[in-house]
Structure 1
Amino acid sequence: MITTDSLRERWAAFKEENPKARIRDAAQKLGVSEADLLATQVGETVVKLEGDFQEILKEVPTLGYVMALTRNDNIVHERKGIYENVSFNGHVGLVVGPDIDLRLFMSRWHFGFAVSESGRKSLQFFDLDGSAVHKIYLTDKSEERAYEAIVEKYQAVDQSTTLITVPYPEKAPDTPDEEIDAQGFKDAWLAMEDTHEFFGLLRKYKLGREQGLRFAPEGHAQLISVEQFKKVFVTAAEREVPIMVFASNAGCIQIHSGPVKKLVEMGPWYNVLDPEFNMHLREDQINTIWVTRKPTKDGVVTGLDLFDKEGNSIALIFGKRKPGVPELKEWQEIVNDVAAA
């Protein structure tokens, strides 16, 4: 449990010295969570929310055109559009539209806030450890009255600044390589008919995600450099080949499907700065990038899988496709040419 007054003062001092710092970076520097910092502003610029977050999300389409933000430590994924086709099956949710495309894992949605910062209004949701799961920002095209109605309806009775966050245990180490049924895993990989089967194979053979790529059949997983990765983006932009960019954390996967155009490098960040889609990728935190080739009923699906130094997934990149439709040959050619260079 974090008490408020001292933390509020520490954060105010930090902002004074670091006026451009993001709240996530401030939280890391101060040794607390992002949700802990937001809680210090309850009663001022922040309103605590309570109730069923699934029900809140079902009302988000009333906000109209908004910006959805999902991130992990090393990538920020921002997509503008309208929340459509919001549905839930138990604790798993879907938002499926041409612009906003999400997979939601509601067991990791523990705290909610309505936030007004420098005139920007948002709904922000956090995991039990206080890390951000998903944020929804109003734009100048959004329905502000619908936003105010959601905040009023789901405003928590308890508007104290106290928040109890609980850290998750550290990730368990991978199974030692020598204990892996390597041939069984390779055979199962080659027998896949859908890319989603891959996660089941990792569980069955007790492999970590990157570990599974190391055990891939020959020719089905290949390491490339950060420069090669950027070459894929540059070439896709030049040839106007639409791609899919997946960014995720424990509670949300957010997907952009479409072209990328304006690519900008700023310090350690590699950015896509398009009107509807922004990506901010910490390229200095990328440890490995794998080209993966997985068999499906529709042919081979080619992807890029990025990992940090701890083996955590940063992002997944594919050519734009839908189930039942073969992968774009233009995407396959771009990746194969870059990987062969």
Structure 2
Amino acid sequence: METTINALKERYQEYKLANPKKRIREIAADLAVSEAELLATGLGETVTLLKKDFENLLKQINSLGYVMALTRNEYCVSERKGVYEKVSFSPHAGLVLGEDIDLRMFMQYWHFGFAVNENDRYSLQFFDQSGVAIHKIYLTDKSDKAAYDELAAAYKDEENNGISTTVSNRTVPAELPDEAIEKEAFGEAWKAIQDSHEFFGLLRKYKLTRTQALRLSPEGYAKEIDVEKAKNIFEQCSAQQIPVMIFVGNHGCIQIHSGNITKLVTMGPWYNVLDPEFNLHLREDAIAAAWHVVKPSTDGDVNSIELFDKDGEMILQMFGKRKPGIPELTEWRALVNESV
């Protein structure tokens, strides 16, 4: 095992020297290993393995003060600065409900944690059993470094100096034939939704993938749109300063930005929001489909723009900023309906 780790460490260091601008996720893909395995080559030097007691650790993240939360999937990265507040856990999910950092965490997928020093850039990084990143927390120049050191020391895994990842068994669910779906019953159930959170339950009940559900939606509740129209909505939200909610997630964590988006910049295939507190990096060429979706609620209809990759996996969702009990922003609703 030690020989294998040393061999990977050597390959990793050589690759970084030859490709100084590549990020660790890209290097892992190029070397056909996981990102967590590459991090583990630094154990005992720049990396500390953490005990798998992540719920208690996360309850103490508030002590770090102002940090940057990062959650991503294959084609989108959300980075939000702020303080971890109102951290709680139930058997179903963990929640962070601060004004700035807003997360839904599915802890059954959190398998490895590390404290990482990348050239004096300090972070806590969490991965699934396959070594794929779920969530990362970076210190900023306003963070409490002493509190970080205390947390890293308190949660250091003293018994284990290595990790073993397993190949992911997660696959894109196969769709049933459209004719096998109870389309009428599903449509009536959609129209009876009282909270948009019920939608996931409908997919499970009627055995639908998300994109299939959109295709088979009741009339007037979902419409596929051109990706350029989705981009235009971003641009109009920026120009008119319409506050939004942008959901970016993976199987283990969903991160929600609530607020304005202002500085939009295209860099190669990446479409970016580059604001002081919020950065978004969206791989535009990976968007296979964009949809305008309407879900009923007790506060009135809720409109969203949803982006999907070629496998039907969600890349991003965008809503007008709202809280339960408050109707959707009229400016957002008008913009979406005028744009699509």
What TM bracket, shorter-length normalisation? over 0.9
CA contact (8 A) 1:83 1:100 kept: yes
2:215 maps to a residue whose letter is R
Provide the rounded CA distance (Å) in 1 between the counterparts of 2:161 and 2:298.
54
List per-residue Cα deviations over 1:12-70 (Å, max 9, x = no partner): 22212221111111111111111011011111110100141000000100000000000
1:10 maps to a residue whose letter is R
List per-residue Cα deviations over 1:50-105 (Å, max 9, x = no partner): 14100000010000000000000000000000000001112511000110000011
Aligned-partner SS, 1:32: coil
Name the counterpart of 1:300: 301
Name the counterpart of 1:180: 181
* TM value normalised by structure 2: 0.97
Name the counterpart of 2:165: 164
Deviation at 1:225, TM superposition (A): 1.6
Name the counterpart of 1:309: 310
Aligned-partner SS, 1:186: helix
2:324 maps to a residue whose letter is P
Runs of 4+ in structure 1 off by over 3 angstroms are none
Name the counterpart of 1:283: 284
1:236 maps to a residue whose letter is C
What 5-or-longer segments of structure 2 have no aligned partner? none
CA contact (8 A) 1:91 1:107 kept: no
CA contact (8 A) 1:4 1:162 kept: no
Alignment of 1:23-102 (within 5 A): 23-90=24-91, 92-102=93-103
CA contact (8 A) 1:42 1:159 kept: no
Provide the rounded CA distance (Å) in 1 between the counterparts of 2:283 and 2:142.
30
Name the counterpart of 1:272: 273
Provide the rounded CA distance (Å) in 2 between the counterparts of 1:196 and 1:270.
28
Name the counterpart of 1:216: 217
Name the counterpart of 2:243: 242
Aligned-partner SS, 2:60: helix
Provide the rounded CA distance (Å) in 1 between the counterparts of 2:164 and 2:73.
22
Deviation at 1:159, TM superposition (A): 5.0
List per-residue Cα deviations over 1:210-260 (Å, max 9, x = no partner): 111111111111111221111101101111100000001111010000000
Provide the rounded CA distance (Å) in 1 between the counterparts of 2:52 and 2:130.
19
Provide the rounded CA distance (Å) in 2 between the counterparts of 1:241 and 1:36.
42
Provide the rounded CA distance (Å) in 2 between the counterparts of 1:306 and 1:22.
25
Provide the rounded CA distance (Å) in 1 between the counterparts of 2:159 and 2:7.
21
Name the counterpart of 2:197: 196
The number of residue pairs the alignment matches comes to 339
Name the counterpart of 2:22: 21
What 5-or-longer segments of structure 1 have no aligned partner? none
Deviation at 1:138, TM superposition (A): 0.3
Aligned-partner SS, 1:102: strand
CA contact (8 A) 2:93 2:106 kept: yes
Deviation at 1:291, TM superposition (A): 0.4
Name the counterpart of 1:228: 229
CA contact (8 A) 2:52 2:112 kept: no
1:290 maps to a residue whose letter is W
Provide the rounded CA distance (Å) in 2 between the counterparts of 1:164 and 1:239.
47
Deviation at 1:166, TM superposition (A): 3.8
1:284 maps to a residue whose letter is D
Is 1:115 matched with 2:116?
Answer: yes
Per mean C-alpha deviation after superposition, the further-off stretch among 83-92 and 249-258 is: 83-92
2:67 maps to a residue whose letter is V
Percent of residue pairs bearing the same amino acid type: 55
CA contact (8 A) 2:173 2:209 kept: no
2:62 maps to a residue whose letter is P
2:101 maps to a residue whose letter is I
CA contact (8 A) 1:221 1:293 kept: yes
List per-residue Cα deviations over 1:159-205 (Å, max 9, x = no partner): 52443334224233112211001111111111111111111110110
